[in-house]
Amino acid sequence: MTTLAKTGQGPAVRRRGLGRHVMAAVLCLVLLALALLASVMFGSRSTSAGDVLRVLTGDGGDAYIRTLVESRYPRTVLGVLAGLCLAVAGTLMQGVTRNPLAEPGLLGINAGASASIVAATAFLGASGQRETIWWALAGALVTGVVVHVVGTAGGGGGPVRLVLAGAVLSAVLAAFIQAVALSRPRVFDTYRYWVVGALGGRGFDAFWAVLPFAAAGLVLAVLLAPGLNAMAMGDDKAASLGISPNRVKGAGLLAATLLAAAATAAVGPIAFVGLAVPHVVRALVGADFRAQILFSSLAGPALLLFADVIGRVLLRPQELMVGVVTAFVGAPALLFAVRRMRGAG
C-alpha cells in the first residue's frame, strides 16, 4: 500500500514542480524583458517604446533618438552580465558555505579588486578604464584564491573558517586602501568613482574583457549543480553517492570567484544582488540548484537593470549610481533572510 501511494504520488509531485518552474520562468522572462526595455527607454531624457522599437528594427526615425537609444546599449549589456554573474555567484556561495547570508563579498572579491586598482594607480601610474578593468580582475581573482587557500588549509576548513579568512583579508585590504587613497588625491579620485559601482561611463570593451571569465564561471556552476544538490543532504551522504565534497566546494568557490571577479572588474563593487536574488529564486523554485542557477541568471539581470533605471530617473538629470540603489533594495532582502533563518530555527 505504501509503495503504491509513493508510486502514485511521484507524477503528481513532478507535475506540481514542473508547473511551479514554468510559472517562475514566465515571471522571470517577463521581468527581464521589461527591464531590458526600460534600460534603453529611460535616462536623462526618456524615449517612447515606439521610438525604441523603430531604432531596434532599423526603421530610421530621428537621428538624435537613435543615438540616444544606442548610447544605452553598453550599460544594458553590462547590466545583464553583471547581474547574472553576481546572482549566480551568490547562489554558489550560499550553497557551498551553507550560509544563507553568504554573498560574493564574503571572499574578499570587492576588497581585492579595489586594492588592486588603488595600488596600480598609485605605484604603477595606471589610468583609464581599460587598465583598471584588468587590474581589478587580477586583484579580485588573486584575493579569492588566497581566501580559499587560507580557509581550507590543512584539509579542515569549513564555512566558518572561510568566512573568517575573507573577513580578515578584507579588513587588511581596506586599511591599505584607506592609507593610500587618502594620502594621494589622484588615487582617491579614481577610487572614488570606481568603488560605488555603476553601469554608466563604460563601453563594450569592458564587456568583452571580462566575458571569458564570466562564461567559464557560469559553465562550471552549471556542471556543479548536481554535486551541490548532493551536498545539501550532507557531506557523508554526498560521499556515499560518489561525490567528493571537497572537490565540489573548491570548484564552487572557483566558479563564484570567476563570476564575482568578472562583474566587479566590469562595473565596480555592487552589493546585495548576490544576497537578495538567491533568496527570491529559492522561494520561487525550491532547493534544486539546477533550477536556482538557471533562474538566478534571469532574475539577477532584471534586478540590476531595474535598479539602474531607478537611479537614472530618480534624480534626473543627475544620476544615482546603481550600487547605491541596490544597497537600498538589498537592505529589506537582508532583513527578510534573517527572519527566514529565525523562523527556520
User: Which pLDDT value is given to residue 48?
Assistant: 82
Coil, helix or strand at residue 201 = coil
- Measured in whole angstroms, how far is the alpha carbon of residue 153 from the centre of its chain? 27
Closest to 91 in 3D by CA, of 103, 109, 79: 103
Query: Where exactly are the structural domains of the chain?
Result: 73-334
Cβ–Cβ under 8 Å, residues 108 and 170: yes
Domain 73-334 in CATH 1.10.3470.10? The answer is yes
Longest pairwise C-alpha distance within the chain = 77
In order along its 345 residues, the chain shows pLDDT tens digits of 444 444 444 566 566 667 788 888 999 999 999 999 999 999 878 788 888 888 888 776 678 888 888 889 999 999 999 999 999 999 999 998 887 778 888 778 888 988 998 898 888 887 767 778 888 889 988 998 888 888 777 655 566 787 788 889 999 999 999 899 888 888 887 787 778 888 988 889 989 999 999 999 999 999 999 999 998 888 888 888 888 888 898 899 889 989 999 998 899 889 889 988 998 898 889 889 999 999 999 999 999 999 999 999 888 888 888 888 988 876 776 676 666 655 555
Exposed (0-12), middle (13-18) or buried (19+): which is 33, by Cβ within 10 Å?
A: exposed
pTM for this model (two decimals): 0.88
pLDDT of residue 15: 67
Distance separating alpha carbons of residues 147 and 167, to the nearest angstrom:
9
Distance of CA 138 to the CA centre of its chain: 18
Half-sphere exposure of 317 (CA within 13 A, CB side): 2
pLDDT (0 to 100) of residue 157: 58
